[in-house]
A and B are shown apart, each in its own frame.
Chain A
Amino acid sequence: LPVAHHFDDWQQQTDARVLGMWLFLVTEVMFFGGLFTTYMIYRVSAPATFAAGSNHLSIWLGGTNTVVLLTSSFTMALAVYSAHHRNVKHLLLFLAATIALGLVFMGIKAYEYYEKYVDGLVPIRGLSFDVKQLGHGAASEEQQTNDHASGASDPAEAATGEAGPAIDEGKARIFYGLYFAMTGVHFLHMVIGIAILLLFLRPAARGSFTRGNFVPVELMGLYWHFVDIVWIFLFPLLYLIDRSHS
């Protein structure tokens, strides 16, 4: 096993590579953290709009994708396990399974984007934005805030009582802008992850990762699990806002 000349031994080199990947992931946390901070500030400024926008997302597609991604993390962990245990067949099997599940996730995500395009909810200049799709808020922004403040929510009143004012187009554009930005950047991470996994297939088949040098698979696992964690937060924050009112 090759050890670069600036390392004392293989173990030190392995530790350094793993540490380097972790430091990269810290920068990734900060990268997504900026988006989450933006999301938080805008959500507090327009809770009813975010609820209406969120309720228009499909919980079935989003939930299915969550299961798909969690499963892909599981298969990725098993691929790392197979590399550690020097099992070429299982390594190939689980790498392929991870790629397949990643592609399923991207397919479902692409279909969701297409649905939003058909509904006219893509906030891009030049495309018409049909805010009426979102209907009226269950309550006006201030009622919503008061509800939250007192902790009281009365679905009966929401149903029979006055519907709130129509959803503001500017605020709705911000919600969908954040939706496309956050899931889009996550999508990009999936594309990169799948591309690298595809590049791993040939050396994996040759046995490059199963003669003791499991490190590339291990690092790929860290990256893949990180992308999974981002989705763990995106799913409740984008798809599950105020579902109890609907």
Chain B
Amino acid sequence: MNESLSESDTQAAPSLATYATIYVALLALMAATIVAAYLPLGVFNVPVALVIAFTKTVLVALFFMHVRYSGKLIWVVAAGALVWLAILLSIYHDYLTRDWTPNRISPAHSRSQAPPGNVRRGG
């Protein structure tokens, strides 16, 4: 019994060198995200920041949270979290279809169309 326990004790734990490597990688990625934020990348500033954040998340989950050393069930649950989050975030697309309504959120059109109140006052 004790032997099988000590086996499982170490089975789930990566080595100290792995932990240290991941920690350094996380710090490097954090520096990268700050540098990238100051570069004039236009539309790409946000995607670059999100890709770096996602990469950090994967490193933390795989190594610090031991997903890499876990059974399939944990993989499914961790991946499931991403799927549910993606569904939740996709609610945003509903707002992109509202340009013709008073609830439009894209500011590009907000000035070109006079608000209904002003039109009535002018007429």
Contact = CB atoms under 8 A, between A and B. Distances in A.
A51 B20 CA distance: 35
B106 A73 contact: no
Contact of A14 (B8, B27, B30, B106): B8
Contacts of B44: 151
Contacts of A1: 5
Given A77-B64, A85-B10, A236 B107 contact: no
Contact of A153 (B10, B40, B61, B70): B40
Interface string A133-158: 00000000110111111111101000
Contact of B81 (A25, A70, A147, A222): A25
A229 B60 contact: yes
B81 A221 contact: no
B42 interface: yes
Nearest to A228: B60
Interface residues of A, number: 71
Contacts, number: 164
Contact of B107 (A19, A46, A244): A46
B38 A243 contact: yes
A142 B89 contact: no
B37 to A, nearest CB: 4
The size class of the interface chain B forms with chain A is: 35 or more
B8 to A, nearest CB: 6
- The binding surface of chain B is classed by DSSP as helix
A232 B56 contact: yes
A84 B61 contact: no
B45 A45 contact: no
A59 B34 contact: yes
Contacts of A235: 30, 33
Contacts of B19: 74, 77-78, 81
Contact of A73 (B20, B38, B60, B107): B60
15 contacts: A10-B5, A22-B74, A26-B77, A44-B95, A73-B23, A74-B23, A76-B64, A77-B19, A86-B9, A145-B107, A151-B43, A225-B65, A232-B53, A233-B53, A240-B34
Given A47-B107, A59-B34, A71-B23, 5 more contacts: A29-B84, A37-B88, A141-B107, A212-B5, A244-B37
Interface of A: 1, 10-11, 14-15, 18-19, 22-23, 25-26, 29-30, 33-34, 36-37, 40-41, 44-47, 59, 63, 66-67, 70-71, 73-74, 76-78, 80-81, 84-86, 141-142, 144-153, 155, 212, 214, 218, 221-222, 225-226, 228-229, 232-233, 235-237, 240, 242-245
